[in-house]
Amino acid sequence: MKRAAAVIVFLILAAAYHSVLLPPAASAENEYDVYLKGESFTWKEFDNGGDQLLKESGPIYGVGGLAKLDIKSLTLKIRGELFGGRIDYDGQTQEGTPVQTDVDYLGVKIEGNIGYKFNLTERFSVEPFAGPGYRYWERDIKSTSLATGYLEKWSSVYVQAGIHSDIAFYGLGKVFVEGGIKFPVHNENEADLSVLGSGTVTLEPGKKESFFAEAGVKWKMLRTAVFYEGLRFSKSEVVRGGHQLWYQPESKGDIYGVNIGLTF
């Protein structure tokens, strides 16, 4: 977690360094963005019959940086984000007793993509892209008088592919839009169930594709965008922890948000 956060800080500082300290000729075709983001996050889990076991929802806030390097028609993009927040938990115990509490989220996301830009006109381009990504987050469920909370450490390694498009307007900046699909390579949920007598249990949620999209405007040094990101996991295999059997139910997350920042 600390190492990933350090990478994000490095990306943001690198963006500021290139935009402020380097001469214009050195970064004429490159872009560096830094932004704040706010999102509406929803997490749901389902039993084998498809009935909802729990729902978590609420605001998550973060900071991010994006570096775009143009090499002739090729583009290299590196994005890093740090996010966190406390949201509402509405679920139940293993015995079916309703429980309401809070959940603390803290995480990072790092992505790198390579694209090829097709300039269809002087002001309109289309850019297919693909690359790897990594998302890590901690899900800390708080204890109540009815149930004992615990900490989960999630990670997902994935590849993604999509299309990005820019539309430039003379004197009015440009509009950008992109969308695509993510394919998980490896998912892991390390649950600290010591308080339940099972120690630390490592689960591997199943791999399901999900979608993402972003659309926004860049005008002079200002950048704003709206975005969506989906998280999808099928049921994991059953593993033994202590004297109990555990598995991660089918789970899905939906993230809708906005980010506002500067572009250089």
* In the chain, domain spans: 2-263
pLDDT at 3: 54
Q: Is the pLDDT of residue 7 over 50?
A: no
Could you tell me the two tokens for 205? 């949620």
Instruction: Provide the token pair at 17.
Output: 């360094």
Q: Which of 146, 183, 147, 148 is nearest to 162 (CA)?
A: 183
The span from the CA of 263 to the CA of 219, in Å, is 9
Dihedral in degrees, nearest 10, Cα atoms 110, 249, 142, 257: 40
DSSP 8-state symbol, 184:
E
Q: How many Cα atoms within 13 Å fall on the side-chain side of residue 236? A: 20
Q: Give pLDDT, residue 16.
A: 43
CA 34 → CA 62, 187, 223, distances in Å? Answer: 11, 28, 9
Q: What is the pLDDT of residue 26?
A: 36
DSSP-derived 3-state class of residue 249: coil
Q: What is the mean pLDDT of the chain?
A: 90
CA-angle at 130, arms to 125 and 133, nearest 5°: 130
pLDDT in tens, 243-263: 899 999 999 999 999 999 999
* pLDDT tens-digit series, residues 167-210: 998 777 899 999 999 999 999 999 999 988 899 999 999 999 99
**CATH fold of 2-263:** Lipocalin (2.40.128)
209 backbone dihedrals φ, ψ, rounded to 5°: -70, 155
pLDDT digits (tens, 9 = 90+) for 113-137: 999 999 999 899 999 999 999 999 9
Helix (H) or strand (E) holding 3: helix 2-20
Residue 1 has what pLDDT? 57
